[in-house]
Amino acid sequence: MSQKPKSPEALSAARAAIRDEYTRLSTGRIAAVITHLEMYARPKLPADPPDAPYQLKHVASPDLDWYRSLYRAVGENWLWFSRLTLDDAALTRLIHDPAVQVHVLRHANRDAGILELDTRHFPDVEISFLGLVGDLIGNGAGRFLMTRALEICWARSPRRVTVHTCTLDHPNALGFYLRSGFTPYARSVEIADDPRLHGILPRSAAPHVPIME
């Protein structure tokens, strides 16, 4: 049985309900859509290649300059800036908190990736930061890093593991998290001052995101 055509009034109301909405940003501001993801059961984790050239090391009480340098090396091209806005006292309180773990991925005698885990809201465990320097992306290092992250998280028997990514991140980041076993559960929008206009990051950072002055 065919459906009765909607009246012009009903069609107009339906179109209004799904109408795109735009929020114009002030000059000097950036916006990102954040996808929040979660995992409630330990997935089957892949075995490492026998000759995997990576090592993950926990860094207790990270030196602030070292941490900021690694954070920049990994995140500058994706406009990671939240940790860079913290003064020494605030950053120390955060990354020296016993419930926050900072790990470094080592490759070819250099620091090449970061993994930061937050258990301050246990039984939830958050993967706060997971990233690589640019030349390692797409070479298996990300899978190695995620496998180590999930091993560490699930060893704590959490209720769930969470991670968050945004539209400023690497274009393959969301797909990578989905393939790793995470399920999206919410979206939000973050609006902030462009860190390149305040000296937090160089103007050359994230060339794919235009500076609006």
pTM, two decimal places: 0.88
Asked if residue 48 has pLDDT above 90, the reply is no
Rounded CA gap, 59 and 77, in Å?
24
Alpha-helical segments (H) within the chain = 8-17, 64-75, 88-95, 141-154, 173-179
**Residue 208: both structure tokens together:** 């794919």
Torsion sign, CA atoms 15, 18, 22, 23: positive
Q: What are the pLDDT digits (tens) for 124-160?
A: 999 999 999 988 888 899 999 999 999 999 999 999 9
Asked if residue 121 has pLDDT above 70, the reply is yes
How sure is the predictor about 167, in pLDDT bands with cuts at 50, 70 and 90? Answer: very high
Q: Average of pLDDT values for 35-52?
A: 92
Q: Who contacts 110 (Cβ-Cβ below 8 Å, separation ≥6)?
A: none
* Fold of the domain built from segment(s) 34-43+54-197: Aminopeptidase (3.40.630)
Mean residue pLDDT of the chain comes to 93
How sure is the predictor about 38, in pLDDT bands with cuts at 50, 70 and 90? Answer: very high
Report pLDDT for 130: 97
Rounded CA gap, 115 and 117, in Å?
7
